[in-house]
Amino acid sequence: MTNKISIAVHGGAGTISKKLLTEERESAYLKGLKLAVDAGHKILKEGGTALDAVEAAVVVLENNTLFNAGKGSVFTNQGLHEMDASIMEGKNLMAGAVAGVRNIKNPVVLSRKVMEETEHVFLCGLGAEELAHKCNLEFMSPDYFFDSFRHDQWIAIRDTETTQLDHSDKKFGTVGAVALDANGNIAAATSTGGMTNKRYNRIGDTPIIGAGTYANNKTCAVSCTGHGEFFIRSVVAYDVSCLMEYKGYSLKDACNEVVKNKLVKIGGEGGLIAVDTKGNLELCFNSEGMYRGYKQNDEEAVCSIY
């Protein structure tokens, strides 16, 4: 048994410029990230599992209107909220994911139910919501998800063919967490409201195991945030793991190769957080910023944006 514990969270990446964030808003983001880190770390410190820790951290971010997941989800072209989430456990490669769900307070909790209560990995839309009802998960009315800032973003572009990547000029709004527990197990979870003004029930990388989320005790746990189409095409989360497993890369080298080289070559912008079974953390991005925070063992939590 190891006593090392580590947790990292992200709240999205992209063109996050100091001039576009007021001091109050910046402070609110940092506070939100720290609350998520602390929620996950508390579970780890008390001997809880990495799986419980990442779920708890993501729930905190889903419940915070600042982040594009759960309560803060952006509007689709039809003025709805369609949310995606996934979770994966490194010790047994068990995973669960949901896509295109509406009115569910915490999609990450539902993704775990898919993993533990069904024989499936990936459910979408009405079927996923049927499982949520069966598991007595909390549903909220549309006004719970309403945020005037997000609504104004949508109104500005709803009559165009444009989709918008949340917040400022360009921001990929996804939340996620990775963790290592005292038993040496790792896990990852990711959740998102997708793109503002998205059409056709568009789904990004967040709920796709191997693209947006991956965890394997042999290598690492990864949660991604970025322009989802590129992350799907590059199978980013699994690619980091593969470089470690088959090429012997360190966590740092694997993350840098995928995020700062392979993704950049095809025009993919964003980042990821990752942890290995030694407790090493990487918070790697090729965009101007990434909302991120982490805590290792009993050290102070560190939260940053730029």
Walk along the chain (306 residues) and give the pLDDT tens digit of each residue.
457 999 999 999 887 777 778 899 899 999 999 999 999 999 999 999 999 999 999 999 999 999 999 998 988 888 889 999 999 999 999 999 999 999 999 999 999 999 999 999 999 999 999 999 999 999 999 889 888 878 888 888 887 776 655 444 456 689 999 999 999 999 999 999 988 888 889 999 999 999 999 999 999 999 999 999 999 999 999 999 999 999 999 999 999 999 999 999 999 999 999 999 999 999 999 999 999 999 999 999 999 999
Structure tokens at 169: 């000029």
174 is catalytic: yes
Residue 50 is predicted with a pLDDT of: 98
Residue 164 is predicted with a pLDDT of: 53
Residue 163 is predicted with a pLDDT of: 63
DSSP state of 138: -
Residue 109 is predicted with a pLDDT of: 98
Is 235 within 8 Å of 210 (Cβ atoms)?
yes
Q: Which residue in 242, 289, 293 sits closest to 269, CA to CA?
A: 289
Is 172 within 8 Å of 166 (Cβ atoms)?
yes
- pTM across the whole model: 0.94
Catalytic residue among 49, 65, 76, 174: 174
Local structure of 17: helix, strand or coil:
coil
User: What CATH number was assigned to the domain covering residues 6-304?
Assistant: 3.60.20.30
Phi, psi values for residue 207, rounded to 5°: -90, 0
R_g (Cα) of the chain, nearest Å? 17
Burial track 50-67 (b if 16+ CB lie within 10 A, e otherwise): bbbbbbbbbbbbbbbbbb
